[in-house]
């Protein structure tokens, strides 16, 4: 089987999905904050801050909470984008390699031989990921320190899982043929027929 190009997460789809989730979360926090302000008041928090020698007006407190939340929002999206762009999966005739690189620095590299993969499955978490046809491929492993390996955020997870299963079957067929050939050659040499 020819070696396919490296597999990478679909950055656009996953980033868009995370952008939607975080935006809903940010607007939910702002709505809860404004709801709390209108019914209870933020004076509860300003009295606590006054005990520490800090004086803030309620409108100033709302501004700082929204500003810190927005900064966290942008930071999370940036880190998520960098993380998604740093993942790469490569398929070789005898193994799968996973590489995580950030800013030209190799953060993590794993190699999993096909002979150690016991099961291949896929998962699409949630309604939106199902609509976008993205998900994870889960590899159950044996005889390794880690028991599972996830190929995260890929397009067509079912198709990728089927491809990996074909690669495993191809590897096992080749390995079995090699063992049979070695056995037959060993028998011929033992008999002295050569």
| pLDDT per position as a tens digit, 76-113 | 888 888 888 888 899 998 899 988 887 667 778 899 99
Taking only the tens place, the pLDDT of each residue in 26-51 is: 889 888 888 887 887 777 777 777 77
How many domains would you assign to the chain? 2
- The reply to whether 66 and 121 lie within a common domain is no
Where residue 107 falls (left for φ over 0; alpha for ψ -120 to 50; beta otherwise) is alpha
Residue 106 lies in a domain: no
Residue 2 lies in a domain: no
Residue 102 lies in a domain: no
Where residue 156 falls (left for φ over 0; alpha for ψ -120 to 50; beta otherwise) is left
Q: Show the domain range for 158.
A: 116-191
Residue 185 lies in a domain: yes
Instruction: Choose the final residue of a domain: 45, 67, 85.
Output: 85
């Amino acid at each position: 089987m020819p070696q396919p190009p490296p597999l990478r997460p679909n950055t656009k789809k996953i980033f868009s999905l995370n952008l939607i989730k975080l935006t809903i979360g940010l607007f939910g926090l702002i709505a809860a904050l404004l709801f709390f302000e209108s019914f209870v008041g933020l004076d509860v928090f300003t009295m606590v801050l006054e005990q520490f020698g800090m004086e803030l007006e309620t409108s100033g407190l709302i501004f700082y909470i929204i500003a810190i939340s927005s900064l966290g929002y942008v930071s999370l999206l940036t880190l998520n984008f960098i993380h998604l762009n740093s993942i790469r999966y490569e398929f070789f005739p005898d193994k799968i390699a996973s590489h995580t690189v950030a800013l030209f620095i190799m953060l993590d590299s794993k190699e999993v031989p096909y002979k150690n993969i016991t099961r291949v499955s896929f998962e699409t978490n949630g309604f939106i990921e199902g609509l976008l046809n993205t998900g994870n491929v889960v590899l159950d492993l044996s005889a390794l320190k880690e028991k599972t390996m996830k190929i995260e955020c890929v397009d067509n997870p079912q198709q990728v899982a089927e491809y990996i299963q074909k690669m495993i079957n191809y590897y096992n067929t080749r390995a079995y043929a090699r063992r049979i050939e070695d056995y037959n050659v060993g028998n011929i040499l033992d008999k002295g027929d050569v």
